[in-house]
Amino acid sequence: MELLVNTSSPYKILIEHGCLSHAGKLCRSLFAAGRRAAVIADSNTAPLYAAALQKSLSEAGFLPSLYTFPAGEGSKQLSTVAGMYAFLAGQGLTRTDFIVALGGGVAGDMAGFAAATYLRGVPFVQVPTSLLAQVDSSVGGKTAVDLPQGKNLVGAFHQPALVLIDPDTLTSLPSAYFADGLGEVIKYGCIRSRSLFEKLLSGGVRADLPSVLYECVDIKRQIVEHDEFDTGERMLLNFGHTFGHALEKFYHFEKLSHGFAVGIGMVLMARLGEAAGLTQAGTAKQIEGLLQKYGLPVRDPAPLEALLKATALDKKSTSSTIRIVLLEKIGVSFVKELSHDEFYRLAGKALA
């Protein structure tokens, strides 16, 4: 399966069993003059897939090298990216060469940010190996690192040159990591596809994984093409993220994984929408039921006051307003701008 993303720098997304093993040939078709390929991977992914990827790159005539960083959201910081810069400089990487991001969302975000900023921009290829990265973070060109004050507060838009999605890599994922990725899959059903939501209810994810991946990626492709730089429609992709990111920050990016936090955030935002009379009654319960079906949490004991405080640094927030993503019903979403006072009032009413 193949899609073309028509952004300012168009690129292909390939969804194919085993495509990681011939990544080198696919990259050579893009980087005819390229000599070096710097693979950036986390410590969990590198032992599983880096050797096969480097072998493929070497067979295509590239000189591959590998930079590995400690796995986990705790590594998603500027000091880790500084280590990447030193490695890239030491390897003599030039603008005709390229970076390969191998791993989950953390690896993709950081390697992409390094690519966006090293030498003021070098090409990079996404090879996502987690469900969350395959359906969401590897597509669209958002790259970022965290600050102590919040998630993804430093970043850049830098579209990949190619995205290679190999469903075979998901077989190595522990069940908790697969469930974490389903948080983002469920999000796509909520915001744009009632049919996907119902397919997930039927339990047909693993049996029909390539088509599920394709539908999620295609939804994101359409949205990104309409709004590459996140000024309007692309905000819909943040459904559940306002509270989700607040939860991640509250627990210092340690207790709740991203997909789990977003799942809870979707329930909270649906409840807020229902309280405001903007979301069809019973929507939050439907989302809860689907999350529970796949073992995702639907609530958290974090105090509301702390979550509301954390939303102040949300990237969709201004000094006087915050833009939130709500559902009219499952499959239909919209952006609503509220004053902070109105947002806090509705949140208090809905989530008390």
Give 136-150 pLDDT, tens digit per residue: 989 989 999 998 888
Residue 187 pLDDT: 96
Q: 312 CB contacts (<8 Å, ≥6 apart)?
A: 340
Rounded distance between C-alpha atoms, residue 313 and residue 150, angstroms: 7
Q: Which residues of the chain have pLDDT under 50?
A: none
pLDDT at 319: 66
**SS3 of 265-323:** HHHHHHHHHHHCCCCCCCHHHHHHHHHHHCCCCCCCCCCHHHHHHHHHHCCCECCCEEE
Quote the pLDDT of residue 116.
97
Q: What is the pLDDT of residue 335?
A: 93
What is the secondary structure of 320-342 as a DSSP string? SEEEEEEEEETTEEEEEEEEHHH
Residue 181 and residue 128: Cα distance in Å, rounded? 12
Single out the residue of 11, 76, 3 nearest to residue 40, CA to CA. Answer: 76
pLDDT score, position 172: 80
Q: Report the pLDDT value the prediction gives residue 253, as an integer from 0 to 100.
A: 82
Partnered with residue 14 across adjacent β-strands are 2, 164
